[in-house]
């Protein structure tokens, strides 16, 4: 017999709040894991981390149109709520919040939350609509769920830093926890979009983290940033990646540039975005 709690599904803010308020009345702490579904082991590790800090865990499942450009994969983004629901029940999640689009964006919706600074470089340059869409939907989810704690993966490191900034700037009463990236055996970061890779592309994809780790080691040993970045870009091309959006060393908190030379004592992070065929992969590691 399973000892897992029964998984409730809410599709409206009203049903969601009814449940969350009932938990609060019992003095229970509530955790939130925002997702766009197509769940994998990486998401489940976020749920397990949330369960360590909260008595009840809500997972939201909403493929957020506002964070996709018209040219991006909103229509084809992998979806499978039945499978997601089974995985969440197994992981010990208490409530799946899978809202209809009008619960998030009611008719006439005209507000966007913009986080300056840390949103601007890297993903912000390549996907100008992305962080506005993320910050808006995450603000809505925080207001709808009212969690004590929310867990986001370090896999989307810039997104995590944007959300930390959002919470600090707007005094949102929620604790943000960053969860370590889960990886396949060859080190490829788990991602819903890995499902797009062909078998050959998947082999190439596994080399991204190896090249990033070499780059991090070189910079940590006092090597110049400019040299490490150039060598990593060459290695990516030689490994068979079709294009490189960026592979850079940045300040670990605000993602500002660190200059061409050695990083000294600055906390640093290697961040990369590359393409293989039609699939875009992002990854990052600490220096
Ligand atoms: O990381 C994601 O899956 C999404 O960007 C998020 C945080 C659920 C917002 O839609």
Q: How many structural domains is the chain composed of?
A: 2
Q: Of the candidates 179, 202, 225, which is a domain's last residue? A: 179
pLDDT digits (tens, 9 = 90+) for 253-269: 999 999 999 999 999 99
- Pair (231, 206) in one structural domain: yes
Which CATH number fits the domain that encloses residue 106?
A: 3.40.50.620
- Pair (138, 162) in one structural domain: yes
Q: Of the candidates 179, 207, 241, which is a domain's last residue? A: 179
- Pair (167, 230) in one structural domain: no
Q: Of the candidates 121, 148, 179, which is a domain's last residue? A: 179
- Pair (101, 209) in one structural domain: no
49 Cβ neighbours under 8 A, 6+ residues apart: 151, 177, 179
Burial of 200 (0-12, 13-18, 19+ CB in 10 A): exposed
> 160 CB under 6 A from ligand 1?
no
Local confidence band at 129 (pLDDT 50, 70, 90 cut-offs): very high
* Residue ID of nearest Cα to ligand 1 atom 9: 134
- Pair (166, 252) in one structural domain: no
pLDDT digits (tens, 9 = 90+) for 146-186: 999 999 999 999 999 999 999 999 999 999 999 999 999 99
| DSSP letter for each residue of 27-79 | T--EEEEEE-S---HHHHHHHHHHHHH-SEEEEEE---GGGS-TTSSTTTS--
pLDDT for 2: 52
Domain span at residue 109? 8-179
Q: What is the pTM of this model?
A: 0.97
φ, ψ (nearest 5 deg) of residue 75: -65, -40
pLDDT for 5: 81
> 36 CB under 6 A from ligand 1?
yes
Tell me what percent of the chain is helix, strand and coil, each rounded to the nearest 5.
45, 20, 35
43 noted as active-site residue? yes
CB of 149 closer than 8 Å to CB of 29: yes
Which CATH number fits the domain that encloses residue 245?
A: 3.30.1300.10
Residue 12 domain flag: yes
Residue 263 domain flag: yes
pLDDT digits (tens, 9 = 90+) for 196-244: 999 999 999 999 999 999 999 999 999 999 999 999 999 999 999 999 9
pLDDT for 10: 98
């Amino acid at each position: 017999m399973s000892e897992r709690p029964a998984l409730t599904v809410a599709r409206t803010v009203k049903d969601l709040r009814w449940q969350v308020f009932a938990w609060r009345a019992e003095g229970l702490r509530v955790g939130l894991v925002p997702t766009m579904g197509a769940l994998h082991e990486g998401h489940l590790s976020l749920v397990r981390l949330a369960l360590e800090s909260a008595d009840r865990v809500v997972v939201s499942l909403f493929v957020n149109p506002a964070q996709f450009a018209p040219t991006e994969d909103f229509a084809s983004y992998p979806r499978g709520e039945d499978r997601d629901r089974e995985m969440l029940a197994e992981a010990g999640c208490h409530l799946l919040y899978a809202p209809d689009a009008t619960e998030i964006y009611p008719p006439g919706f005209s507000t966007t939350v913009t986080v300056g600074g840390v949103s601007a470089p890297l993903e912000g340059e390549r996907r100008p609509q992305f962080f506005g869409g993320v910050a808006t939907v995450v603000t809505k989810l925080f207001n709808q769920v009212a969690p004590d704690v929310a867990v986001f993966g370090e896999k989307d490191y810039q997104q995590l830093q944007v959300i930390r900034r959002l919470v600090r700037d707007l005094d949102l009463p929620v604790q943000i926890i960053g969860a370590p990236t889960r990886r396949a055996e060859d080190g490829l970061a788990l991602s819903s979009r890995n499902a797009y890779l062909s078998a050959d592309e998947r082999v190439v994809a596994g080399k991204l983290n190896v090249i990033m780790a070499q780059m991090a080691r070189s910079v940590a040993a006092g090597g110049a940033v400019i040299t490490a970045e150039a060598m990593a870009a060459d290695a990516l091309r030689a490994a068979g990646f079709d294009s490189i959006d960026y592979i850079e060393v940045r300040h670990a908190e605000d993602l500002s540039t660190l200059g061409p030379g050695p990083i000294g004592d600055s906390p640093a992070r290697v961040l990369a975005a590359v393409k293989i065929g039609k699939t875009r992969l992002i990854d990052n590691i600490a220096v």
